[in-house]
Structures are given as structure tokens and as C-alpha cells.
Amino acid sequence: MKYSFKTACTKQHLYKIRKFVAVHLEKTNLISKEKYQIILAIDEACANAIIHGNNCDQSRELQVELILTSDKLDIEIYDVGNYLPKEKDAHWETEDIIKDSIQNKKKGGLGLKLMYHIMDKVNYYRREVDKVNVCSLSKNLK
Amino acid sequence: MEIRQYFNEGLLTLAIEGDLDAASSIEMDNVIKAAYVGQKYHILINCKLLNYISSAGLGVFISYLEDFKAQRGSFVFFEMNEEVYGVFELLGLHNIFNIVKTETEAKNLLNT
């Protein structure tokens, strides 16, 4: 089944996205901790899109699409921003990011790492035909 | 998210209720900053009613770790639920932060 949710690009609406995902994850047999972590990965992807891609511009829209089957969850997040993570950020060791954050008193940088830890696939691309940014995540449920 | 604060016997307790995400982490940051400025370096974080934490919430505590350590202070988290603890575990942060089960254990840790 396919489910879709649209909201404004504001951090204050992240809880609505989490609620939308949580409702549909109730249809799976995942345990509470697994559901929580998938919600977290999607929340991180949406927060990155809202903050880094769209500068929290509430006039812009963010769309989250879930495709749920008995053995797989696919998520696509669409927005018109321009956030594509750098290759090095995705492959930086978690321990090194944390060391750097502690030493340099940084608050960000761990969201992308969480997405990679939790999901089986993470992919970003720009759809040139309509200038839409797509974050694609997937998780095997079996 | 709501943060209730109690100051007793030199220890500041912050009881967090709700979701600590990218939206509410600014408030958390302000509270930690005010504690630092007010020279309250020993902080107990009551997580009993903390439902959710994202990287933005974690980032607040990470970013102040060195400042508090330089003042011989620290954060001690207690009564954290399994899901929230799981996020710390995913990133290895359970080895960096003090996380204990009860408030008594947390107080003992800060008083030693």
C-alpha cells in the first residue's frame, strides 16, 4: 500500500511527520524499538530537507511517501530545496564525527549517520525534469 | 516538549517531557547554556517522560560536553526508556555519557 503526507517546510511540523509514519508502522510486526528507529531515520531526513534544503521556508512543501509491503518499507521524501549530502559526510566514521563534534562543540552532523545506521538503503538524487530533490530510504522488514 | 528545573544541594535536575527534536532542541540549548552561565555544572537529566530524541537533541548535550568537563561538571541521565537509550547506543554515545537507571544512582555518581 502507498501512503502520502504533505506538510510545510517547518521544524514545528516534524512531529506531524512522525505521527504519520507511526500510524502506518502500526500495520507491521516490528517491535517498538524498530518502529522508533525507522521514525527517527525519516525524521532526520525530513529535518535535513527542511533546515538545510529549504531554510525552514514555510511557503514550501515537503512530501513523504511510504510504500509498505509485507516484507519491505520504501520511503521517498520530496522537496524543492537543494540539499544533497556530500559523499564524505555519508562515509565518515561515526566515532570520528562524535570526536569532531565534542572537540569543536558542534550540534549537527549525526542525523545522516543515524539514517545510514537504521535503514538498509539511503539514496539522494535530484530529479532534473521538475527540479525536485528526492531522499529515498528503504528497510527490509523480514 | 517541557523542561522542569529543580536546583538542590548543588545539583541541577532537568526533567524533560515529550519530544526533543530539531524544533525543541533550541529550548534545550537555552536551558543548558543558562545552567553553564549560572555556574551550575552538575546536571541530572530526568528522562522518565522523554518520549523521543533526535540527533538535534543529542547534539545539544554533545556540544556542551567539553565546557562542562572543563569545569569538572557533567551530565548524568537517568530513567531513560529503552527506545531513547537505543539511539545513544546506535551512535556509541552510551560510552561517552553517564546513563544510569535511577535518580539515586545519578546523584551518587555526581557526588563521588
Of the candidates A11, A36, A101, which has its C-beta nearest B63's C-beta? Answer: A101
Are A37 and B90 in contact by the 8 Å Cβ rule? The answer is yes
pLDDT over 80 at A13, yes or no: yes
Please, which pLDDT band fits residue A9 given cuts at 50, 70 and 90?
A: very high
Are B62 and A101 in contact by the 8 Å Cβ rule? The answer is yes
Range of the domain at A69: 2-140
Q: Is A30 on the interface with B (CB under 8 A)?
A: no
- In chain A, residues 35-54 whose CB comes closer than 8 Å to chain B: 36-37, 40, 43-44, 47, 50-51
CB within 8 Å: B54 and A43: yes
**Mean pLDDT score, A98-105:** 90
CB within 8 Å: A111 and B93: no
pLDDT of B86 reads 97
**Mean pLDDT score, B76-100:** 97
Q: Sketch out chain B's domains with CATH numbers.
A: 2-111 (3.30.750.24)
Q: What is the pLDDT of residues B27-79, one digit of tens each?
A: 999 999 999 999 999 999 999 999 999 999 999 999 999 999 999 999 999 99
Are A68 and A1 in contact by the 8 Å Cβ rule? The answer is yes
* Choice between A89 and A133, residue whose per-residue pLDDT is larger: A133
Q: How many structural domains compose chain A?
A: 1
- CATH number, domain containing residue A9: 3.30.565.10
Average pLDDT of the residues of chain A: 94
What is the pTM (predicted TM-score) of this model? Answer: 0.95
Chain B residues with CB inside 8 Å of A114's CB? 54-55, 87, 90-91
Please, which pLDDT band fits residue A91 given cuts at 50, 70 and 90?
A: confident
